[in-house]
């Protein structure tokens, strides 16, 4: 039995957020990354940009199933920065993302609990400045029909809230649509029924796509 491909969240834009806790500044830079090399390069870039900061702590999650995760406390007490930062990313279900939180020390010690809260809040603030989307595993279909069946297909797709990606008008009409794979069997059955099996339906491809209905 084929494993069901679960949806996952991604960023559609990078973001920067900042909080101040007892005079310490925490600046969270969040970036879309697709490999460990990209994440590492981003972390190094932030360390150079904020070279005069006390700490540049980091965390990243790569892969649709979070196959690769890393985090670093960068000199903060063990477990007070990188791990809480990573837990925010995992808790939000966001994949292919890296975050660096830069701390400019304000002269007041925050303690273990205070550091965990500050780094957690900084990541949340950074993420709040990013646009997010949901990657759904979907099916792209080609539907070829005669002109007498156009209205039936358009009405059905409207009822199912599925937009038409492309329309080609020739001797017949060919529609291309993209929708969540979970709807595939039921939708093909309905299109076959409303056209009395006149529609020629074929799967073009199956792929992940940004489900705009579920995006921010």
Model pLDDT for residues 36-80, shown as the tens digit of each residue:
999 999 999 999 999 999 999 999 999 988 999 999 999 999 999
Token digits of residue 122: 């900084």
Helix, strand, coil % over all residues of the chain, rounded to 5: 35, 40, 30
Q: 203 forms bridges with which residues in the sheet?
A: 141
- Is beta strand 8-11 parallel, antiparallel or unpaired with respect to 132-145? antiparallel
DSSP letters, 75-121, are: TSSTTSSHHHHHHHHHHHTB-SEEEEEEEE--SS--HHHHHHHHHHH
Q: Is the pLDDT of residue 85 over 50?
A: yes
Say which residues have a Cβ less than 8 Å from residue 10's Cβ, sequence separation at least 6.
Answer: 32, 94, 95, 96, 97, 132, 133, 134, 135, 210
Burial class (CB in 10 A: 0-12, 13-18, 19+), 43: buried
- Residue 110: predicted pLDDT: 85
C-beta of residue 102 within 8 angstroms of C-beta of residue 48:
no
Give the residue-averaged pLDDT of 207-215. 75
pTM for this one?
Answer: 0.80
Model pLDDT for residues 95-149, shown as the tens digit of each residue:
999 999 999 998 888 888 999 999 999 999 999 999 999 998 999 999 999 999 9
- Residue 155: predicted pLDDT: 95
Domains in the chain, CATH or no CATH each: 8-130 (3.30.230.30), 134-214 (3.30.70.240)
- Rounded CA-CA distance 52/54 in Å is 7
- Rounded CA-CA distance 208/202 in Å is 18
Model pLDDT for residues 69-78, shown as the tens digit of each residue:
999 999 999 9
């Amino acid at each position: 039995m084929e494993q069901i491909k679960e949806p996952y969240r991604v960023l559609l834009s990078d973001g920067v957020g900042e909080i101040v806790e007892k005079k310490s500044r925490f600046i969270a830079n969040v970036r879309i990354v697709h490999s460990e090399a990209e994440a590492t390069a981003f972390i190094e870039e932030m360390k150079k940009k904020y070279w005069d900061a006390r700490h540049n702590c980091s965390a990243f999650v790569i892969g649709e199933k979070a196959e690769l995760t890393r985090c670093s406390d960068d000199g903060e007490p063990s477990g007070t920065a990188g791990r809480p930062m990573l837990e925010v990313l995992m808790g939000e279900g966001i994949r292919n993302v890296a975050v660096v939180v830069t701390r400019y020390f304000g002269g007041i010690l925050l303690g273990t609990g205070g550091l965990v809260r500050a780094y957690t809040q900084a990541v949340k603030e950074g993420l709040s400045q990013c646009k997010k989307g949901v990657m759904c595993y979907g099916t792209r279909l080609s539907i070829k029909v005669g002109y007498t069946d156009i209205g039936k297909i358009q009405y059905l797709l409207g009822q199912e809230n599925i937009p038409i990606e492309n329309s080609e008008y020739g001797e017949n009409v060919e529609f291309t649509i993209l929708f969540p794979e979970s709807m595939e069997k039921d939708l093909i059955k309905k299109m076959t029924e409303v056209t009395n099996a006149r529609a020629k339906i074929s799967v073009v491809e199956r792929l992940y796509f940004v489900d705009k209905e579920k995006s921010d």
